[in-house]
């Protein structure tokens, strides 16, 4: 009897060219997941992370793009599906912080932080939904923060607002998507 092996699951990690995102990619690769590495500007760093991931015997692809811009999210999705034809785990890790006091936050800075930290994760989730619903499977992790929910710090007003917003997004989306076997998590980081 011939058995067909199940294709490897694929994980996309935003903001994964260094630091926490890099560690997440390498952990996923060590567990046998194909991985998609993302960054907005440093392609060399993303390529290096992808090469490290390949040493675990998995497929690894770089998908450059700013997750705070919807056009970039569409291009990232196309890259994922051209290479692996699936997405099983979405890790919303990209985030930015400018330590700016409330009275000094410009509209431009406010929008930039909102776009990367809150709008981007929402549209990344939305871009994967058809695949999750069709396959009745998906896991989504949002790197959140204790800032905005438990503690506050001077200069973090816009950052705290986005991280609190992620928690509301996760709670609502988890209720709506549970019928499709989609699990959503938040993972606090400092």
Q: Tokens 């058995």, residue? A: 3
Sheet holding 89-92, edge to edge: 60-62, 34-37, 10-13, 89-92, 138-145, 182-189
119: which DSSP letter?
Answer: I
What's the residue count for the chain? Answer: 190
Integer Cα distance of 176 and 34 in angstroms:
27
Is 33 a known active-site residue?
A: no
- Active-site entry in 33, 159, 180, 185: 159
C-alpha torsion 16→151→173→132, nearest 10 = 20
What residues contact residue 131 under an 8 Å CB cut-off, 6+ apart? 86, 87, 138
- Number of other residues whose CB lies within 10 A of the CB of residue 62: 22
Residue 99, judged by CB atoms within 10 A of its CB (0-12, 13-18, 19+), counts as: exposed
- Active site positions, annotated: 159
């Amino acid at each position: 009897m011939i058995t067909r092996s199940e294709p490897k699951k694929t994980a996309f990690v935003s903001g994964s060219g260094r630091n926490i995102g890099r560690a997440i990619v390498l952990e996923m690769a060590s567990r046998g997941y194909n991985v998609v590495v993302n960054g907005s500007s440093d392609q060399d760093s993303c390529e290096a992370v992808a090469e490290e991931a390949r040493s675990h015997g998995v497929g690894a692809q770089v998908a450059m793009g700013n997750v705070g811009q919807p056009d970039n999210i569409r291009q990232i999705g196309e890259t994922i599906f051209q290479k692996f034809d699936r997405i099983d785990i979405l890790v919303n890790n990209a985030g930015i912080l400018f330590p700016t006091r409330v009275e000094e936050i410009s509209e431009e800075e406010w929008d930039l932080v909102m776009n990367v930290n809150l709008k981007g994760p929402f549209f990344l989730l939305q871009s994967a939904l058809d695949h999750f619903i069709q396959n009745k499977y998906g896991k989504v992790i949002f790197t959140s923060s204790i800032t905005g929910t438990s503690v506050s710090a001077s200069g973090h007003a816009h950052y705290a607002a986005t991280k609190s917003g992620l928690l509301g997004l996760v709670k609502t989306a988890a209720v709506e998507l549970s019928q499709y076997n989609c699990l959503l998590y938040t993972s606090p980081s400092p």
